[in-house]
């Protein structure tokens, strides 16, 4: 029986993974080592009961008594707090899904990479903030990292185990998010509710707003750079409003391999769960005749300044990824809280990058979780300060 752990089980990705586990035998087929959630005790307890989990961890330490009560009488051990989340990741499991949102996902990602096994990585922030550290930790300890982000899973599938030597260009597609067709001058007035409405994918609120700003794609360009080791000029972004083609891999001989599928994260999660095999998944089948046509356009850098910031970060290297990621999270918090406008997010991030670039050690890639978190904290302060001045 294979053993699994899910970090961020109560989120959008976590729910999809839970659905796949329940739909493929549930507790009779899977040994669930650990499930973690942020604050939703009721849902975490429900999932732990359904999968007969050995351990359930709630990240908000104040909620430990609630979790204990909700799981009383079951065999599930309970724990709470950030350290308990990271410790849960130390427990051996064959397959671990890193699906916490934001920089908080880095500690469990690193812990899984340290103990070996398969790390199914939805938390792209881990690679953005600490790509070299995470990849090296996995390499040294023999861990396998499998991409769960749909575009990166698509590239991985297009490569089909082949190497990158003949690859000329990897293209990540982007739906364009909620404001793809808005007049540019309206963007400054965009509300949180408007930014939270994704045309194609049902995702958590934060990544949905990041899709509207293209910060999600900016993170993904950096993620592709770290995961596949490609230079920035061999990673392209293409706006594809239908979200059917997830990525394209172009080879030096002019051949292009594309990955197509319905926009449903259960495909990418399920691919990583079954890898290297393929197994039936409960995702809608494509009907290209019904779709009729697929469209593509180049991304507009005026509409989406986040894309240029990603290129800047790759060119800088060092701590730039950790800074961009944290500043983006702060700017997003500030936008959601109504402190800054939608169009203020990119300048706030650019400001934090400028400030960090003047600091000693910026050119060095952070070599520990503590180093990443120290850049992270400073970047949040800088982005917040920009927001207050705006």
Bind-site residues for Mn(2+): 149, 151, 220
Q: Are residues 6 and 120 in contact, defined by beta-carbon separation less than 8 angstroms?
A: no
Q: Which of 314, 311, 309, 315 is nearest to 328 (CA)?
A: 309
Q: Smallest gap, in angstroms, from Cβ of residue 271 to Mg ion?
A: 14
Task: Please report which helix (H) or strand (E) contains residue 41, including its range.
Answer: helix 41-51
Instruction: Pick between residue 171 and residue 243 the one whose CB is nearest to ligand NAD.
Output: 243
Stretch in the footprint of Mg ion (CB under 5 A) among 146-154, 272-280, 318-326, 367-375: 146-154
CB of 207 to ligand NAD, least distance (A): 5
Residue with structure tokens 């990705």?
13
Nearer to ligand NAD, 105 or 261 (CB): 105
CA torsion through residues 310, 313, 315, 318, sign: negative
**C-alpha closest to that of 272 among 112, 45, 85, 51:** 112
Binding-site residues from annotation for NADPH: 10-13, 38-40, 123, 125, 204
Provide the minimum distance between the beta carbon of 151 and Mg ion in the complex, in angstroms, as a whole number. 5
Closest CB to ligand NAD among 93 and 127? 127
**Structure token digits, residue 142:** 């023999």
Task: Give the residue from 75, 5, 72, 3 showing the smallest Cα distance to 41.
Answer: 72
Q: Is the peptide bond before 276 cis (omega within 30 degrees of 0)?
A: yes
Q: Closest CB to ligand NAD among 84 and 190?
A: 84
CB of 9 to ligand NAD, least distance (A): 6
Distance in Å, CB of 363 to ligand NAD, minimum: 26
Residue 210 within binding range of Mg ion, rule CB under 5 A: no
Structure tokens at 200: 């194609």
CB of 170 closer than 8 Å to CB of 155: yes
d(C-alpha 166, C-alpha 205), whole Å: 38
Residue 11 contact among Mg ion, ligand NAD, none, beta carbon within 5 to 8 Å by kind? ligand NAD
Binding site for ligand NAD (CB under 6 A): 8-14, 37-39, 59, 85, 99-101, 104-105, 122-125, 149-150, 201, 203-204, 206-207, 265
Q: Which residues are annotated as a binding site for 1-deoxy-D-xylulose 5-phosphate?
A: 124, 150-151, 175, 198, 211, 216-217, 220
Q: What's the rounded Cα separation, in Å, for the pair 37 and 292?
A: 41
Closest residue to ligand NAD, Cβ-based?
A: 11
| Contact of residue 318 among Mg ion, ligand NAD, none (CB under 5-8 Å per partner type) | none
Q: How far apart are CA 28 and CA 33, in angstroms?
A: 14
> Residues within the annotated binding site?
10-13, 38-40, 123-125, 149-151, 175, 198, 204, 211, 216-217, 220
Considering the complex, state which of residue 9 and residue 214 has its C-beta at the smaller distance from Mg ion. 214
**Shortest Cβ 82–ligand NAD spacing (Å):** 6
With CB under 5 to 8 Å by kind, the binding choice for 125 among ligand NAD, Mg ion, none is: ligand NAD
Instruction: Provide the 8-state DSSP code for 297.
Output: B
Q: How far from the centroid of its chain's Cα atoms is residue 225's Cα? A: 14
By C-beta, is 137 or 150 nearer to ligand NAD? 150
Least Å distance, CB 101 to ligand NAD, is: 4
Instruction: Identify whether the C-beta of residue 206 lies closer than 8 Å to the C-beta of residue 281.
Output: no
* Pick from 77, 122, 109: nearest CA to 269: 122
Q: If we measure between CA atoms, which residue out of 73, 65, 25 comes closest to residue 49?
A: 73
- Among 15, 54, 149, 329, indicate the residue that binds Mg ion (CB under 5 A): 149
Rounded Cα distance, 168 and 40, in Å: 45
| Nearest residue (CB) to Mg ion, 150 versus 213 | 150
Which residues lie near Mg ion (CB under 5 A)?
A: 149-151
């Amino acid at each position: 029986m294979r053993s699994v752990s899910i970090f961020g089980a109560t989120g959008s990705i976590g729910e999809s993974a839970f659905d796949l586990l329940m739909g493929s035998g549930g507790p009779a087929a899977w040994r669930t080592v650990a499930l973690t959630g942020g604050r939703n005790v009721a849902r975490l307890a429900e999932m732990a009961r359904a999968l007969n989990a050995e351990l359930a961890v709630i990240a908000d330490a104040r909620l430990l008594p609630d979790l204990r009560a909700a799981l009383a009488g079951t065999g599930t051990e309970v724990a709470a707090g950030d350290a308990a989340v990271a410790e849960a990741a130390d427990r051996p499991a064959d397959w671990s899904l890193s699906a916490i949102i934001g920089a908080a996902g880095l500690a469990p990602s690193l812990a899984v990479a340290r103990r070996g096994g398969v790390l199914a990585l939805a938390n792209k922030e881990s690679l953005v903030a600490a790509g070299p550290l995470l990849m090296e930790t996995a390499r040294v300890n023999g861990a396998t990292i499998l991409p769960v982000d749909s575009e990166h899973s698509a590239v991985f599938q297009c490569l089909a185990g082949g190497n990158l030597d003949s690859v000329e260009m990897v293209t990540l597609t982007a739906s364009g998010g909620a404001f793809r067709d808005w007049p540019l001058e309206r963007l400054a007035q965009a509300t949180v509710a408007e930014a939270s409405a994704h045309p194609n994918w049902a995702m958590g609120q934060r990544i949905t707003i990041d899709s509207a700003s293209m910060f999600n794609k900016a993170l993904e360009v950096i993620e592709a750079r770290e995961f596949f080791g490609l230079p920035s000029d061999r990673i392209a972004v293409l706006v594809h409003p239908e979200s059917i083609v997830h990525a394209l891999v172009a080879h030096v001989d002019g051949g292009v391999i594309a990955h197509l599928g319905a926009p449903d994260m259960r495909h990418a999660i399920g691919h990583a769960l079954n890898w290297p095999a393929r197994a039936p998944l409960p995702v809608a089948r494509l009907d290209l005749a019904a779709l009729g046509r697929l469209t593509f356009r180049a991304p507009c850098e005026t509409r989406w300044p986040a894309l240029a910031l990603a290129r800047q970060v790759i060119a800088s290297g060092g701590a730039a990824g950790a800074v961009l990621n944290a500043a983006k999270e702060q700017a997003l918090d500030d936008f959601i809280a109504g402190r800054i406008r939608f169009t203020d997010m990119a300048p706030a991030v650019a400001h934090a990058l400028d400030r960090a670039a003047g600091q000693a050690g910026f050119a060095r890639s952070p070599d520990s979780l503590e180093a990443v978190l120290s850049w992270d904290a400073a970047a949040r302060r800088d982005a917040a300060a920009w927001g207050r001045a705006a």
